[in-house]
Structure 1
Amino acid sequence: MRPPPLWLLSLLLGGLGAAAPQPDPVPQLAAPQHLELHLYNDEQILSWEPSPPSNDTRPVVYQVEYKYSTGSWNTFKGVNCTDITVTKCDFTGGGRLKGFPGLYSVLLRVRARQGERTSDWVTSTKFQRYCNVTVGPPKNISVTPGKGSLTLHFSPPFDVAREAVFEYRVRYWEKAGAQQVRGPFKKNSIVLDNLKPLRVYCLQTEAQLIVREKNICRPGLSLSNVSCHETAAEASTSLCAILISMGIFSLLLALTGACRFLFRKYQSRAKYWFQAPPNIPEQIKEYLKDPDQPILEALDKDSFPKDDAWDSVSIISSPEKEQDDVLQTL
């Protein structure tokens, strides 16, 4: 049998060695951009910009994972940061997780997913909460005025572990006066003494975080709202005010007693002085208006009514009869 030509053999061998055609690969989804970590007091929030839009109308969801410097990547179980449509993950938003510990080094990463398509992971920079947190002012501030002093009570900006502590400073000034600073204080109660009594002072407080044995200091970047309060009087000033009030009261009491004594002693004169002026009878007023009127006859007639009469007259005794009775007795 005659062998096939070489060109036909080469064609058959080339066809057997050719690979089957592969389907087109699924295009990869664009990754999230510009990761930003927000650390303010208790708040720990990671946010990012969404993936660029595409022709696919299916929703894009995001997955967030974390790990410590010596561990592996983990998904969040205490908060909802898996398959979320929003572009942020709040680590303190609820559940058992209350944020990352103060001095642990933490890494975060995010990726997008749309159906079967996924993006590459985007990793944030490493951070430590106590080293990167922004410290706000103290909370729940109350001020109690005292005798030439002001006492402040407040709460720390957020709770810290044993390895950290807060220090506080108070800025205060008299109205239209120069500002002064006192501190640092480590207690949540501060007494500003040696102030002027009965003066108005305005206050602002600030806090800074000190991490022991790490030489880490996070100063507060914001001050509390301005509040103004008036100091109370000193003890000597209060005593003088009480003595003056008692003296005035005693003087008024003495004057009242003297007035009552004088009124009783000169009661008749007082009544004479304060009695109403006599009134002119109506007949005299009419006479003064018209002198030609026979006012005297009218008064005489009025003083003796026509209807007055006597039924009988009895003589009880007479001087002559008394004398006769005396002579007969003798």
Structure 2
Amino acid sequence: MTAGQWSTSFSGSRWYDANDLGVNCMNLTKPECNFTPSSLSKGFPPHFNISLRVRAKLEDLASPWLTVPWFLSCWNVTVGPPENIWVTPGEASLIIRFSSPFDIPPDRGYFQYYVHYWEKAGIQKVKGPFKSNSIVLDGLRPLREYCLQVKAHLFRTSCNTSRPGRLSNITCYETMMDATTKLQQVILIAVGVFLLLAVLAGGCFFLVLRYKGLVKYWFHSPPSIPSQIEEYLKDPSQPILEALDTDTSPTDDAWDSVSIVSFPEKEQEDVPQSTLTQNSAAVC
């Protein structure tokens, strides 16, 4: 088992139990301890040099104390990556929300954030700094997959120092299409449908011209039977000739008789003019 103590004295004349900091670092079963305080009012003073010492215990037996090298939290603190990262794909953009690596009083310092992002298999870019925990990556290409990492940068106002943090894990997301892309997609679909219809119409027209006779044969109406013959076929006892005579109009059988009177050339000269006039009238 292990136990821990800390001191702010270079001489180590006075040591304090780690439990006084609000952390549980006494009687541990693992050789590690997290000194993150439970509240902002507890923890190591940020502007003090801190020294730790540890020892192992087994029942009533205890090892000698081992002193850890001095450190100053303003200079030696390790800033982890932002936590609870949440990414929402937008129209040609990515909306990123996260929480800070740890809480820090405003009078002691603040965080600034940077986003490392790149299109998959592309060149990495960096955007920042941001003071907000909500970041919008805009100007991206629609319907593309982007990967990103977020990093926090700690600025200590109490001791006028800054410490870069660690990058978060790589996560990838696909952007959504924007209004321009939607319009282009609609136009492309409309043009594609129009071209398809034009090709179909042209193909049909070509086939009609090439197989004109066959098309006429397919679409030619079958010959129809006259109504009189159709009635006769339905009722053979009906005299077909009388039915045809009945339907025939008397005016269809009317004709004019024409008489042509001719004379030899000699006789024609001897015929009086009056006779020719009468004959001509009769012919007309």
TM range (shorter): 0.5 to 0.7
Q: Residues 218, 177 of structure 1: CA spacing in aligned structure 2 closer, same or farther, 3 A cutoff?
A: same
Aligned residue among 214, 224, 245 for 2:159:
214
Alignment match, 1:189: 134
Q: Residues 241, 79 of structure 1: CA spacing in aligned structure 2 closer, same or farther, 3 A cutoff?
A: closer
Alpha-carbon distance in 2 for matches of 1:160, 1:95:
10
Aligned residue among 230, 251, 267 for 2:174:
230
Gap runs ≥5 in structure 1: 1-60, 250-272, 274-330
Alpha-carbon distance in 1 for matches of 2:177, 2:24:
57
Alignment match, 1:159: 103
Note the 1:132-147 alignment, pairs <5 A. 132-147=76-91
Alignment match, 1:170: 115
For the residue of structure 1 that corresponds to 2:153, the secondary structure is strand
Q: Residues 116, 223 of structure 1: CA spacing in aligned structure 2 closer, same or farther, 3 A cutoff?
A: closer
Gap runs ≥5 in structure 2: 194-218, 220-284
Aligned residue among 60, 65, 86 for 2:5:
65
Q: Residues 132, 174 of structure 1: CA spacing in aligned structure 2 closer, same or farther, 3 A cutoff?
A: same
Aligned residue among 110, 123, 138 for 2:67:
123
For the residue of structure 2 that corresponds to 1:176, the secondary structure is coil
For the residue of structure 2 that corresponds to 1:237, the secondary structure is helix
Q: Residues 123, 145 of structure 1: CA spacing in aligned structure 2 closer, same or farther, 3 A cutoff?
A: same
Measured after TM superposition, the shift of residue 188 of structure 1 is: 0.8
What is the TM-score with the length of structure 2 in the denominator?
Answer: 0.53
For the residue of structure 1 that corresponds to 2:71, the secondary structure is coil
Q: Residues 114, 147 of structure 1: CA spacing in aligned structure 2 closer, same or farther, 3 A cutoff?
A: closer
Contact 2:93 2:139 in 1 (8 A): yes
Alpha-carbon distance in 1 for matches of 2:35, 2:26:
12
Alpha-carbon distance in 2 for matches of 1:217, 1:104:
16
Matched, 1:107 2:47: no
What is the TM-score with the length of structure 1 in the denominator?
Answer: 0.47
Structure holding more helix per residue: 2
Contact 1:79 1:97 in 2 (8 A): no
For the residue of structure 2 that corresponds to 1:157, the secondary structure is coil
Alpha-carbon distance in 2 for matches of 1:226, 1:149:
17
The more displaced of 203-212 and 126-135 is 126-135
Alpha-carbon distance in 2 for matches of 1:145, 1:115:
57
Matched, 1:204 2:149: yes
Contact 2:40 2:104 in 1 (8 A): no
Q: Residues 230, 93 of structure 1: CA spacing in aligned structure 2 closer, same or farther, 3 A cutoff?
A: same
For the residue of structure 1 that corresponds to 2:167, the secondary structure is coil
Alpha-carbon distance in 1 for matches of 2:144, 2:186:
20
The more displaced of 206-215 and 119-128 is 119-128
For the residue of structure 1 that corresponds to 2:143, the secondary structure is coil
Aligned residues: 190
Q: What is the percentage of aligned positions where both structures have the same residue?
A: 46
Matched, 1:180 2:125: yes
Q: Residues 138, 247 of structure 1: CA spacing in aligned structure 2 closer, same or farther, 3 A cutoff?
A: same
Q: Letter of the aligned partner of 2:136 in structure 1?
A: V
Q: Letter of the aligned partner of 2:133 in structure 1?
A: N
Q: Letter of the aligned partner of 1:74 in structure 2?
A: Y
Contact 1:91 1:97 in 2 (8 A): no
Q: Residues 84, 159 of structure 1: CA spacing in aligned structure 2 closer, same or farther, 3 A cutoff?
A: closer
Q: Letter of the aligned partner of 2:92 in structure 1?
A: G
Alignment match, 1:314: none
Measured after TM superposition, the shift of residue 212 of structure 1 is: 2.0
Contact 1:138 1:224 in 2 (8 A): yes
Alignment match, 1:74: 16
Contact 1:204 1:225 in 2 (8 A): yes
Note the 1:261-280 alignment, pairs <5 A. none
